[in-house]
Amino acid sequence: MNHSVLLIEDDAELSAMLRDYLQEDGFTVGVAGDGERGVAAALSGEWEIAALDVMLPGIDGIEVLRRIRATSELPVLMLTARGDDIDRIVGLELGADDYVSKPCTPRELAARLRAILRRSGERDSAPPVVSAGQLTLYPQTRRALWADTPVLLTAAEFNLLELLVRHAGRPVSKDFLSQQALGRPHAPYDRSIDVHLSNVRRKLGPLPDGRSRIQNVLRQGYQYIPE
């Protein structure tokens, strides 16, 4: 099955190289060279995933992501400068599914895109319902309900929450969460999981006693606390 990816990248030489590699690797590829066109293309419904450069002319990648997330849960992979932790964290807080540091190889980009798409599309073998208390997840349709009210989650957020709910009441390691939800090994100093789960905490709200529903267990990972 061919997947479709939108590259939002202003470097014409780089985008041409990435486009050629991804097309040879089986992707259908579109390119938008600035933020305004990137937003319009991302919201067109034509693409399965977007690879978004942070540094863009006009509106930057962070603003592009903000506008996409205002109306769409399209998976988004951010392309960030190596070592630029602020852009990565802000992007993840706004709902980016993952990031790749530039310069990156086309092979690495393709692998990361496929990992996100695979996690987003693993539906056939998933159980129809996963639940804990008032939270109900429907993996086959990627829907989340809290007491019958929809909870809007990105692909990465849904994957992480589903894993924690399946192991409700037990700690789940960051290594396991990263491999199963993000499709890559957990690296030292990588805060992706922490930021994604911070977003999920905010969307679910606290327990009646004020504690977080998702707790960090020292040296063991994260744990979902069912009511």
Answer for the pair 226, 168: CB distance below 8 angstroms, yes or no. Answer: yes
Is 39 in a helix, a strand, or coil? Answer: helix
Say how many CA atoms lie within 13 Å of 51 toward its Cβ. 32
- Return the closest-CA partner of residue 77 out of 164, 180, 182: 182
* Class of domain 130-224 as given by CATH: mainly alpha
Q: What pLDDT, on the 0 to 100 scale, is given for residue 126?
A: 55
The pLDDT, as a whole number, for residue 65 is 96
- CATH 3.40.50.2300 region(s) of the chain? 4-121
Q: What is the pLDDT of residue 32?
A: 96
Q: β-strand 149-150 against 143-146: which pairing, if any?
A: antiparallel
Helix, strand or coil, per DSSP, at residue 223: strand
Name the stretches of the chain with pLDDT < 50: 124
3-class SS of residue 121 = helix
* Per-residue pLDDT reduced to its tens digit, 5-35: 999 999 999 999 999 999 999 999 999 999 9
Which CATH code for domain 4-121? 3.40.50.2300
Using alpha carbons, select from 104, 119, 38, 112 the residue that is nearest to residue 30.
38
Find residue 100's DSSP bridge partners: 79
Q: What is the tens place of the pLDDT at every residue in 124-146?
A: 455 678 889 899 999 878 889 99
Number of H helices, E strands in the chain: 8, 11
Range(s) within the chain of domains with CATH label 1.10.10.10: 130-224
